[in-house]
Structure 1
């Protein structure tokens, strides 16, 4: 078999394995091997290489409900220099996503806060950063898809105690920690840690994912899209969800929908953009590439409450 063919097959296998890990960061290597049709040894080599070279981090992402976050917004910043502005944005812990992008804005970000007043305060702070010429704000009305983080429900259907929180927060730093380690950290038995984690995951309180580390991303860059809709936003969300987005939300602001899509190649991303434009509900599409994602963190940036309200 030619070297180029071997390399292409290896690349495809690696992508498949890391996709499975992204969906479930605690999936056993044997289960991943069965799913993608390879050996446990190959899966082990791929995952350990990705972790050792900081291509992936296995982490727990935590429900905004659990963190007391009720207000979310997507920000586009027109800037003089992206690098200097991003350095200041990194000082704002409520920003869970920050990226340098192509297009007229240069930087985008996502913010999660408790209420409107807190949102206004953080937006005023961002506007005062030297080099920020304009700030475009799109407030999320409803998040339809987020493959890396639980989606907020605000229904308050579950409660947690200190041991639950300790388990969730430890998993932010080591998503594949053993139940014995989690139990020791939380002051409970390994069996209790196992049961608590299963409950937290089943209730949507946390999700353990193999999150790509994309500040040194290689290959086709993820693409952000801002979409203006004609007709039903719900129908547009349903159609766009079928295209496999990483993230998709109905928003209030300059766009009716904000989304993020990724692909294995530029040709694959072009196909996705063409499919978006072909949707009958889509009136207009603006897109930008994420050149360097410097923060992608959906964890306990503030001490979460012991019980949901």
Structure 2
């Protein structure tokens, strides 16, 4: 499904849930002046189409001894999908995307400590097809939010 298949009500419902993913459908319906059943049906459809996923984000700096890092991996084209599938199943991997640039995978990981981060890096480097991995440790998350594209510049 392309973003063009969504209508303005879909986007308004998404924005309401982006502000508060636990917001009651009744409140969203009242805010948007539509029946609660409409909101419930739209949210279910958006979830089934994998347009919308409601989840909780944690603040790594509040979790105590957690190491958050961004890894950029250069993976051989013929091994790309297999490496994505493998990394996508690892519990330390928080975010995984294919990118264009000097690397072709962006991997965000959360580990207990420096030792577990080091072991994870070695494990990733040993995967067949992984040619190189560069690492940037994140020390503070200032903003994390996945939103719909803005309709116009806001700055």
Q: Which residue of 1 aligns with 2:12?
A: 16
What is the 5 A alignment of 1:188-207? none
Deviation at 1:34, TM superposition (A): 3.2
Q: Which residue of 2 aligns with 1:45?
A: 41
Q: Structure 2: 5+ residue runs without aligned partners?
A: none
Runs of 4+ in 1 over 4 A off after TM superposition: 65-69
Deviation at 1:69, TM superposition (A): 4.9
Alignment size in residue pairs: 150
Aligned equivalents of 1:109 and 1:103: distance in 2? 14
Seen in structure 2, the aligned counterparts of structure 1 residues 13 and 91 have a Cα distance that, compared at 3 Å, is closer
Deviation at 1:29, TM superposition (A): 1.5
Q: Which residue of 1 aligns with 2:149?
A: 263
Aligned equivalents of 1:34 and 1:91: distance in 2? 39
Q: Which residue of 1 aligns with 2:90?
A: 92
Q: Structure 1: 5+ residue runs without aligned partners?
A: 1-7, 148-245, 247-260, 276-309
What is the 5 A alignment of 1:80-229? 80-81=76-77, 82-147=80-145
Higher strand share: 1
Aligned equivalents of 1:117 and 1:104: distance in 2? 27
Q: Which protein shows a greater Rg?
A: 1
Aligned equivalents of 1:38 and 1:110: distance in 2? 39
Query: Which of 29, 34, 39 matches 1:33?
Result: 29
The TM-score with structure 2 as length reference comes to 0.78
Q: Which residue of 2 aligns with 1:75?
A: 71
Deviation at 1:105, TM superposition (A): 1.4
Aligned equivalents of 1:25 and 1:262: distance in 2? 14
Aligned equivalents of 1:130 and 1:68: distance in 2? 34
Seen in structure 2, the aligned counterparts of structure 1 residues 61 and 102 have a Cα distance that, compared at 3 Å, is same
Q: Which residue of 2 aligns with 1:168?
A: none
Aligned equivalents of 1:27 and 1:69: distance in 2? 31
Aligned equivalents of 1:69 and 1:45: distance in 2? 41
Seen in structure 2, the aligned counterparts of structure 1 residues 146 and 69 have a Cα distance that, compared at 3 Å, is farther
Deviation at 1:62, TM superposition (A): 4.2
Which 10-residue stretch deviates more, 109-118 or 21-30?
Answer: 21-30
Deviation at 1:30, TM superposition (A): 2.3
Q: Is the 1:69–1:112 Cα contact (8 Å) retained in structure 2?
A: no
